[in-house]
Amino acid sequence: MLKSLKRAREDSGFTLVTVMVSMMILGMFVVAAWAAVNQDTAFGRNDQDTKRAYEAAQAGVEWYAYQLARSPDTFWQRCATNVTLSNGSAAPVTLEGDRNPSWATVTNADGQAKTKEQWRIEILNTKSVTTGAAVPCQTGTAASTTALQNGNLRIRATGRANGHYRSVIGTFRRQGFVDYIYFTKWETQDPIISGAANCDNPRSRRGSACVVIQFQNVDRIRGPMHTNDESIVTCGSPTFGRVGKSDKFEVAGSSPGYISASGCGTSTPVFNGPKTTPAATLDLPDGNTNLQTLATPAWTFTGQTCLDFRNDVVDVYTSQTWSRTNQVTCSGNMVTKPLTGAQAPPNGVIYVTGSGACGYSRNENYDNPATCADVAVRGTYSQSITIGSANDIVINGDIKKSGDEMMGLVATNFVRVYHPARSGTNCANTPAGYAAVTQIDAAILALAHSFVVDNYDCGSALGSLQVNGAIAQYYRGTVGTGSGTNISTGYGKDYNYDDRLKYRSPPNFLDPVQTRWDVVRQTEQKPAQMTVGTPPPTS
């Protein structure tokens, strides 16, 4: 009995050792858990600050968008430098490269400042069309400011929070005619061609003599379209928009936005994108004198001119007299000019001016005086260019791009497709050497009149007229005649939107009057733009 008690007493320390070892192991787990949690807290805080910096940068983009809509003359044309806000503080906007900026503090929905989250804006440099060198934003008028590149205004918004920086590049663009493959102010034939009166009105208020032009079954409008008119007129099942592209169909009148042509029964147009009826209207500029301002003397020509593009050069034929032969000619008085290098158009603009009694007729005989600002254009181009005319632009051959370039054609009056098939008042055979135009890679704008095919109702059918780009016109121009699926004379429409125009424009292409600015793209810049200035607040 005593031996058993003795053995029990000898085991009494075993429990204490076990408890101590267990507590030691548990303590190690606690320390490890604390270390892990402490490390996760640091990682979590860093992640939170990084997100806060990004949100601050986005707040800067949104602030600039608001200011641009509210005061475009300051925040675009004047580069928004040295601007004092309504609260007396300096606008946190500088030009690219300023290393000592001012910062703005993010505010919440209640207007309370988040003192540890700040942002600032830089207006990014553009690049010279000719040299590619950086060009800082310079104040001036809408025509001369250098803030725009291909119609875009680019800023960099940088946000910071607790020493973490993130930068977002915001690309702004005004709503413009190049947003659409097809734009008209009025869906009626040009009164100069029809001879009608009271046509400069919506459909319900137009004179009965105003000619109705319809979209036929054969027509394909492959891209977004817009008209300021109350409706379009359709026959059969013309197609609007491309499958899978969400191309907009916008009409200023009420739904459905179209009516069936007389004698066509009930038409069934196909819409491959969203419809907006009614849509806001876009106003055309009064003229293109801004382009004349941008064109240098070396790239301004007077009187009837022919431009024959050959990739990165253009053959310029001046002092043409088309009335001698009643044809568009490109002969004599020619000089070849480069489209690259120091002698290229500095602003990417060629302009033709002129004088005299310059007109246009449904029975077009090409008999304007030689002093008229008529310019013929054809060829293949490998440099982006915009051609402006104080009168008409005549497309007298295929116009094709050779790469990623863009061409703009901006006429005060008509942009016309050459078709010399009429003499006097009677249709006549086309002259020797004439070849029908089949392809036009360009953005087209006819400010006061139309995009039209000369003598469209003469001769035989010419096939499809393929336009790759955009078409905008005051009155709707006629390109052919026919019914249903058949074209009798002129062309059928094969209009294809150039999706690059969503983000780019030909050099200095004109925009609508008083149109809005939209953010068309936001991309993060990595790494962020680290700037020298007031140290960021820390927690």
Q: Is the dihedral of CA 57, 58, 59, 65 positive or negative?
A: positive
How does residue 535 score in pLDDT terms, banded at 50, 70 and 90?
very low
CB 475 within 8 A of CB 189: yes
Q: Which residue type occupies 457? A: D
pLDDT of residue 533: 45
Task: Please confirm whether the linkage preceding 278 is cis (ω < 30° from 0).
Answer: yes
Most confident of 5-14, 278-287, 392-401: 392-401
Residue 141 has pLDDT above 80, yes or no: no
Residue 390 has pLDDT above 90, yes or no: yes
pLDDT-wise least confident of 39-48, 185-194, 206-215: 39-48
CB 341 within 8 A of CB 130: yes
What is the rounded distance in angstroms from the CA atom of residue 119 to the CA atom of residue 475?
Answer: 47
pLDDT of residue 145: 64
How does residue 534 score in pLDDT terms, banded at 50, 70 and 90?
very low
In sequence order, what E strands does 77-189 have?
93-95, 104-107, 113-123, 126-127, 134-135, 148-149, 152-161, 164-174, 182-189
pLDDT-wise least confident of 45-49, 250-254, 366-370: 45-49
Q: What is the DSSP letter of 215?
A: B
Spell out the residues 6+ positions from residue 92 whose beta carbon is closer than 8 angstroms to its own.
Answer: 60, 101, 102, 103, 104, 119, 120, 121
Share of the chain above pLDDT 90, in %: 54
pLDDT of residue 414: 98
Tokens of 219: 């027509």
How does residue 536 score in pLDDT terms, banded at 50, 70 and 90?
very low
Surface-to-core class of residue 57, CB atoms within 10 Å of its CB (0-12 exposed, 13-18 middle, 19+ buried): buried
Residue 233 has pLDDT above 50, yes or no: yes
What is the rounded distance in angstroms from the CA atom of residue 41 to the CA atom of residue 34?
Answer: 10
- Report the number of secondary-structure helices (H) and strands (E) in the chain: 5, 35
Q: Which residue type occupies 264? A: C
Tell me which of 511 and 413 has the higher pLDDT.
Answer: 413
pLDDT of residue 423: 56
pLDDT of residue 281: 92
What is the rounded distance in angstroms from the CA atom of residue 282 to the CA atom of residue 165?
Answer: 40
Residue spans of alpha helices (H) in 352-436: none
CB 452 within 8 A of CB 211: no
Task: Please confirm whether the linkage preceding 256 is cis (ω < 30° from 0).
Answer: yes
pLDDT of residue 351: 98
Overall average pLDDT of the 312-323 stretch: 97
SS3 323: helix
Which H helix or E strand runs over 48?
A: helix 14-70
pLDDT of residue 5: 47
pLDDT-wise least confident of 172-181, 409-418, 425-434, 471-480: 425-434
CB 173 within 8 A of CB 504: no
Residue 381 has pLDDT above 90, yes or no: yes
| Gyration radius of the chain over CA positions | 33
What is the rounded distance in angstroms from the CA atom of residue 181 to the CA atom of residue 247?
Answer: 10
How does residue 216 score in pLDDT terms, banded at 50, 70 and 90?
confident
pLDDT of residue 539: 37
Among 143, 100, 152, CA closest to 124:
152
pTM for the model: 0.79
pLDDT digits (tens, 9 = 90+) for 54-86: 999 999 999 988 888 877 777 777 777 767 776
pLDDT digits (tens, 9 = 90+) for 176-188: 899 999 999 999 9
Tell me which of 33 and 219 has the higher pLDDT.
Answer: 219
The DSSP string of 230-287 is S-EEE-S--EES-TTTT--EEESSSTT-EEEPTTS-S---EE-S-EESS----BPPS-
pLDDT digits (tens, 9 = 90+) for 18-29: 667 677 777 666
pLDDT-wise least confident of 142-156, 320-334, 509-523: 142-156
Tell me which of 256 and 75 has the higher pLDDT.
Answer: 256
Share of the chain above pLDDT 70, in %: 84
What is the rounded distance in angstroms from the CA atom of residue 168 to the CA atom of residue 22?
Answer: 54
Residue 121 has pLDDT above 60, yes or no: yes
Task: Please confirm whether the linkage preceding 507 is cis (ω < 30° from 0).
Answer: no
Work out the mean pLDDT of the chain and round it to a whole number: 86
How does residue 358 score in pLDDT terms, banded at 50, 70 and 90?
very high
CA 184 to chain centre: 17
CA angle 184, 190, 191 (to 5 degrees): 140
Spell out the residues 6+ positions from residue 473 whose beta carbon is closer than 8 angstroms to its own.
Answer: 183, 184, 185, 415, 444, 445, 446, 449, 450, 451
CB 233 within 8 A of CB 203: no
CB 532 within 8 A of CB 99: yes
What is the rounded distance in angstroms from the CA atom of residue 487 to the CA atom of residue 464?
Answer: 9
